[in-house]
Structures are given as structure tokens and as C-alpha cells.
Structure 1
Amino acid sequence: MTTRAATTTLVTGPVRSGKSRHAEDLVALHQDVLYVATGRPSDQDDSAWAERVRAHQRRRPDSWRTLETVDLDAALAGASGPVLIDCLGTWLTGQVDLVGWEDLDRAAQHVRERSVSLVESLCRASHPVVVVTNEVGWSLVPTTPSGRLFQDELGRLNARVAEVATAVHLVVAGRVLDLSGAPVVPESLPPPTLDA
């Protein structure tokens, strides 16, 4: 029996689908939201990234606190109210950055260990948690080993979080599909039995 993260909503979807705005709407009535930004600090040489960060900041109420970190376990443990995590894709990148992209086997092992810990932290959370993530793999297959690692591990992480979340919302083209009641794909099939 899978333990449920009774307070967790997962919001997933492709780039520019509206998933971050939808996640913000889910906690908009709360004044004491902890916004956990998992992305890299704004790079002055990357004006497009800096503008994305500013756009997110402008949408958030002044009463929300912002924490930039990849230590989601600590952020969740220390939260005193609702938490919005944006997003798992940049968190995963940050985790690989910690161990390096040169040894992808080691990076994958690290990401899997941190993913298990994150899911456990979500299951312990006593405040509402909204987690934003990207759906990857609906288009081109990455041509590099590091691209395939990212795609595969984020897909696995998304499935793990969705399995324990109370609600799962897919945002596509600015529309929200509630997948909360949809069947969960088992992680692996049981071995076949032979009939006598």
C-alpha cells in the first residue's frame, strides 16, 4: 500500500502551458505561502531567463516568502504554511549539478536517492503543498546521454510524486485536466504465473 501525500497537488504540463499560473491560483487565498524556487539564480548574461524570473516574481503577492534552494526536504520540514515548489525539472538539474554531469550513472543514483527522500518528505507534510513539474518526452528524443538522463529521471520522478499526490493536474494550452481520479500505472508488472 502506497503512503499518500494527503496535502500534495502535482501540477504538470509542457513549457508555457500555464502550469505555474495555475499552481499559484491553487494557493492564492493564502497569505503565508512559501514559494520555493528551485531554479538557478538569474544570470545577467541570460536576459530571457532573467525576464522569466521577474515575471514570476511580479505575479506573486508581497506576503509570500521566497526561498531559492534545491534542499526541498529542509524547505518542507521547516514550512509553517502552504508551500509552492516550482519546479521539479530545475530541482533535478540542480541535483545533477551537485554531483556532476560527467558520471551519469552516479548522477542517476543520486537523483533516485534524493527523489525517494523528497517523496517521503511530501508524505510527511502537514500543510498544503503544490508541486510544479514539466512533462518531458512528448516530442523529440534527446540526442545526448545527459539529455536522456534528464528526460528519464524526470519522468520517473513525476510518476513517483503523482502516485502519492492527492491531486494531479495536467495543464495543456492553458487548459487544466484533473487526473486525480485516473488509474495509476503500477511501477512494474508482477511476474507471470504458469497455469497447470
Structure 2
Amino acid sequence: MRSWVKWGLPVSVVVLLAGAGGGAVLADGLYRGPTRSVSTTKFESTDEVVAMNSPGGVAYTQGAAQHPDQQSVMLLLDNHFRSINDRDYDLWKSTVVESKWDELPEAKWRDAYGSTTDLDMKVHRIDPGPDGSLLAMLTFRSHQDVEAAPPDMPYRCLEWNLVYPMVVIDSGRSLRLDTSKLPNSALRAACQE
């Protein structure tokens, strides 16, 4: 009996610890999934062919173009990108929730967007969001002065992959962007020229 305790117990403990460690490594690999680099992450869509372009130059995949609220989304996004490209603060205000006006009063907005031009906008999907809102998954490029770029991405050209949450502000199905609804919903990288 004494020899089993002397050799069997330590061997059993080692086997149990090895099994637990192996299980933890296996579970980590199974549940965490593949790691992605911010510079290579793109929205995955089986429907990347452009089905239509809006008057404002925003492209829509087939699935996004067929969404029942696509016309409202198109009006909002056309005005939003045009407001930035044309430096039209009042038009920009009509595309975002009022809390954004306080966050970006006109002088601060002009500093942030004064050199920005957005292009190659493409809506990949439009999905339902919480409380009757919508989520538009899109990509675009922004060109700006290096000083106006995000501090952690000081480049003249950035590729954006993001989700724009859109909330209904009246019974007429008028939409506004509410970027505070989904913090950290944007992936960005220097343009691959």
C-alpha cells in the first residue's frame, strides 16, 4: 500500500494536471476562434457584387439594395457623406442624433472634417438593430490631412470597415446616425495603395 501512495499518487496528480492543461488549451482554440489583424479584417459577405449606386455615390450590394428600408438608409447616407465632402455642417446635423451636435459643435467639427473627403462608400448589409433601429455595415475610404487623422492612425488615406447604427426619430421613418450605440464598431487601416 505504501508503494502505491509513494508512486501512484504523484503520477495521478501529474496526469490530472496534464489533462486539465490540455483541456484548457483545446477549449481556448475552439472558443476563441481565429485571430484577425485590424489591417486585414473586412466584412464577410457572400453578396459583394454591387447591385446599385445611389445618387450620392454610395454602392449597395444585392442584399442591401433589397432591404425594405434601403431608400431611407440611402437618403441618410447620401446626405451624411455629402455633408462631410461639401463641408456642410447644417446638413451633417440633419444626419446625426442631437447628442452628436453637443459632442461636435461647428468649430470642432470643421477642425475634425475640414480636410476630409470620403469615397468608395459601399453598404454590404442592412440588418435590424435593437429597439427598431437599423445597422448598416459598410466600407469606405477617407482622405484627410495627417493632422486630422485619428491620432493612432496618422495617415492621409484610411480604409474603414464599420457599423453605422441608425435610429428612427419620428413616425415618418426618418433615420439618424447614432454612433454612440455601438462603441468600437469601426475597424480602420492605412489604405493599400
- TM bucket (normalised to shorter chain) is under 0.3
Point out the structure with the larger strand share. 2
Larger RCO, structure (CA 8 Å, separation 6 or more): 1
Q: Which structure: larger Rg?
A: 2
Calculate the TM-score normalised by the size of structure 2: 0.27
Give the structure-1-normalised TM-score.
0.27
